[in-house]
A = this chain, B = another copy of it.
């Protein structure tokens, strides 16, 4: 699945996430700062995400496309599963497993 290729890349999900939580479109710099990455990676990812029509670029910056938003929506259940899975997997880890964290 090509989707996983894309989403598995270094800052892909992070970028989508930052854009999703931004009140307004983010500039290149703003994104670079928010995702804490470098121009090269950010630029590459941005290109791929735009090719995939998951984000859009306008004069005022980058924003999620409808498709991007729908992807995020589909990703949520997976995210939930992953959390439960991770929680089940590290019962012996420095135990803060008990208090479910919400952010």
A1-22: CB near B (< 8 Å → 1, else 0) gives 1111101100001000000000
Copies held by the complex: 2
Q: Please classify the interface of chain A as helix (H, G, I), strand (E, B), loop, or mixed, using the class held by over half of its residues.
A: helix
Interface residues of A in 48-87 (CB under 8 A from B): 52-53, 67, 70-71, 74-75, 77-79, 81-82, 85-86
15 A-B contact pairs sorted by A residue (CB < 8 Å): A1-B13, A1-B79, A1-B82, A3-B81, A3-B82, A4-B4, A4-B7, A4-B8, A5-B8, A8-B8, A52-B89, A70-B81, A74-B77, A74-B78, A78-B78
**Chain A residues packing against B (C-beta within 8 Å):** 1-5, 7-8, 13, 52-53, 67, 70-71, 74-75, 77-79, 81-82, 85-86, 88-89, 97
